Amino acid sequence: MSVQTAAADITRQPTSSRWRSLVTQESVATLVVSVIVAAAVILPLFTLVVSSFQVLDSGGFDTTWGLDNYRTLFTDRVIPKAFVNTLVISAGSTVLATFFGVSLAWINARTNSPGRDRMEPFNLIPFFLSPFVGAIAWHNLAGGKTGLLNSWAREYLGVHGNLLNVDNIWGVIWVTGLFFSPLVYLFVVGSLRRMDPSLEDSARTTGAGLLRTARTVTLPLVAPGILSGAIIVFVTSAGEFGVPFKLCAPYGWQTLTTQIFSKAVGDDANQYLGAAMSMALGVITVFLIWIQQSYIAPRSFTTVTGKGFRPNVIDLGRWKWLAFAFNFSFIMVAVVLPIFCLVVVSLHPVWQAEIIPSDLTLHNYVKTLFWWRPDHIQAATNGIYNSFILAFLGATIAMILSLVVSYMIHRTKGFGSRLLDFLCVVPVGFPGIVLAMGVLVTYIKTPIYATLWIILLGYITRFFPYGQRNVSSVMLAISEELDQSSRMAGASWFTTLRRITIPLLKPGIFAGWVLLFIIFLRELSMSIILYTSGTETLSVGVYYLTNYENETLTSALSMSQTVVLLICVFVFRRVAGREALTA
């Protein structure tokens, strides 16, 4: 075409093209979401940091700036010991969880142990239940004189005194390790299943025996998965509040989380000292998570190929029955026994370590569930109602947020997306209690204080990374070209999201939603800081009952919570399928 026509065409260029490069639907949404995430995550942490440098005076109202809080971490009688206890518990739980997680994963993915497919969903159940409830159940099973197992041992085995005692640090390690075994299991089983069998076959063809192949080929390939799982367990144990609160704090062993709790709302309330302790704990856990995310997690993809195949299964011969027994026993001990105990205790008016058939009654369930009756316990019935609302609303909002954030992290490039990725991981590193204190102090002057909204904010801030991971893993599997071809076909960014991306992500979205629903329903450590009359949650109800009422009422409400969670697990399993949880 002639130069003049071309020039004329170019000058007739719509100027809206210039704006487009700045204000696209995509960039606006990115900005809004980034601001929301940054505010939600950074503000509470910032408040904590500032608080840790404020020192409370003896009157209890005024503060001055100083480093005394940090000094107290070392000089106080209890705090350094609490720190040591926390490390011991975390380390012990990690070892126990790794032992169970790896052995069960190996049995399930690599051996011909009978019934392993049937047993697999049960291996995962402890992950979905509340460890606090688990601690309550184990206290009634094996906690000194009132333990059911102990009384059976006395009666049927003639044992003097108490056979078992979980009311100490070892009990905490036992319960925490059991309940977090599925975390390691998930990492390792996914790794084992996705492993290309030709990697091991090639070792076998060079003459290496079964054990040597396992040691020199399989183990190193699974190592990143094991390490990832172990770190997650360590961090989660360090931040666990309910189990030490029930099993070791009352008997003389404090942990950082129980100390932070007592500094937040105990007699010696000093939220500023609590903030300093939170910083100490938080820095360690965030560091560990960062290591896991940056260095270990990426390496666990090295064995993934696109093709599906069957990994090598080892024939154990007669030993397969031992493997079966091991798996079966785990399920009995980790799942069936505690639930059985909850049921038994909840049916008695007062628990005295023996089953008294004439005493059995459903009255405790009536008092904790039937809100229309005059003798209901408010904290319990409020709890059920509030927890359901928080779980529904929270899961929904968190998934919407996860969707946009995942999209931004995986589909846009550059510094912004990497920052967002990091911001998403940070809340996971901080214990719930710590984050809740930050949220409380940050938002106490706003209208959301003392309402369900502040609890909702806390939940979403802390847990939306879980939803985001679910969405991200599905998104990674979806080729970017599916979105790009929609853009090329003429669809705007938003239309593409609506018609292509979201429909394809549906399985991941729903799986994430159910997972978050479960997590919100059983959450304790944040709720306990942020609740007030009328906004109690289910776990707060259990906490209230354990403080002011007796074991039987506590067990009744705990059992109700467990039943709801089990139903959710069933639904989750149905919808999301086997691979949905693998990390």
Judged by beta carbon, residue 165 or residue 312, the one nearer another protein is 165
The residue within the footprint of another protein, chosen from 23, 39, 42, 78 (CB under 8 A), is 78
Contact flag: residue 375 with another protein (CB under 8 A): yes
The residue within the footprint of another protein, chosen from 6, 28, 35, 210 (CB under 8 A), is 6
Judged by beta carbon, residue 523 or residue 551, the one nearer another protein is 551
Which sign does the torsion angle of CA 465, 467, 471, 474 carry? positive
The residue within the footprint of another protein, chosen from 168, 303, 312, 550 (CB under 8 A), is 550
Q: For residue 318, give the DSSP letter.
A: G
**The one segment of 144-152, 231-239, 511-519, 564-572 that binds another protein by CB under 8 A:** 144-152
The residue within the footprint of another protein, chosen from 267, 317, 357, 372 (CB under 8 A), is 267
Contact flag: residue 262 with another protein (CB under 8 A): yes
Helix, strand, coil % over all residues of the chain, rounded to 5: 75, 0, 20
Judged by CB under 8 A, the chain residues 158 through 217 that form the site for another protein are none
Contact flag: residue 255 with another protein (CB under 8 A): no
Contact 441, 47 (CB under 8 A): yes
Hey, what are 304's tokens? 């993934």
- Nearest approach in angstroms of CB 45 to another protein is 19
The residue within the footprint of another protein, chosen from 112, 503, 567, 578 (CB under 8 A), is 503
* Site size with another protein, rule: CB under 8 A: 77
Contact flag: residue 490 with another protein (CB under 8 A): yes
List CB contacts of 135: < 8 A, sequence separation 6 or more: 171, 172, 175, 242, 243, 245, 246, 247
Q: Is 174 left (phi over 0), alpha (psi -120 to 50) or beta?
A: alpha
**The one segment of 190-198, 227-235, 372-380, 513-521 that binds another protein by CB under 8 A:** 372-380
Judged by beta carbon, residue 106 or residue 544, the one nearer another protein is 544
Contact flag: residue 77 with another protein (CB under 8 A): yes
Judged by beta carbon, residue 213 or residue 382, the one nearer another protein is 382
Q: Taking CB under 8 A as the rule, which mask of x and - marks residues 323-362 in contact with another protein?
A: --------------------------xxxxx---------
CA dist 67 and 95 (Å) reads: 36
Judged by CB under 8 A, the chain residues 450 through 489 that form the site for another protein are 450, 479, 481-482, 484-489
The residue within the footprint of another protein, chosen from 93, 257, 271, 558 (CB under 8 A), is 271
Hey, what are 515's tokens? 């997972």
Phi, psi of 353 (to 5 degrees): 65, 20
The residue within the footprint of another protein, chosen from 549, 564, 573, 583 (CB under 8 A), is 549
At what angle are helices 538-548 and 131-142 packed, to 10 degrees? Answer: 30
**The one segment of 168-176, 373-381, 384-392, 566-574 that binds another protein by CB under 8 A:** 373-381
Contact 507, 418 (CB under 8 A): no
In three-state secondary structure terms, 64 is strand
Contact 493, 25 (CB under 8 A): yes
CA dist 173 and 526 (Å) reads: 22
Contact flag: residue 577 with another protein (CB under 8 A): no
Judged by CB under 8 A, the chain residues 427 through 456 that form the site for another protein are 440-441, 444-445, 449-450
Judged by beta carbon, residue 7 or residue 38, the one nearer another protein is 7
- Nearest approach in angstroms of CB 308 to another protein is 15
- Provide the 10 A C-beta neighbour count for residue 316: 17
Q: Taking CB under 8 A as the rule, which mask of x and - marks residues 11-50 in contact with another protein?
A: -xxx--xx-xx--x--------------------------
The residue within the footprint of another protein, chosen from 39, 53, 61, 70 (CB under 8 A), is 61
- Provide the 10 A C-beta neighbour count for residue 511: 24
Judged by beta carbon, residue 197 or residue 252, the one nearer another protein is 252
CA dist 180 and 462 (Å) reads: 18
**The one segment of 1-9, 229-237, 416-424, 428-436 that binds another protein by CB under 8 A:** 1-9
Q: Is 2 left (phi over 0), alpha (psi -120 to 50) or beta?
A: beta
| Secondary structure of 115-177 as H, E, C letters | CHHHHHHHHHHHHHCCHHHHHHHHHHHHEHHHCHHHHHHHHHCCCCCCCCECCCHHHHHHHHH
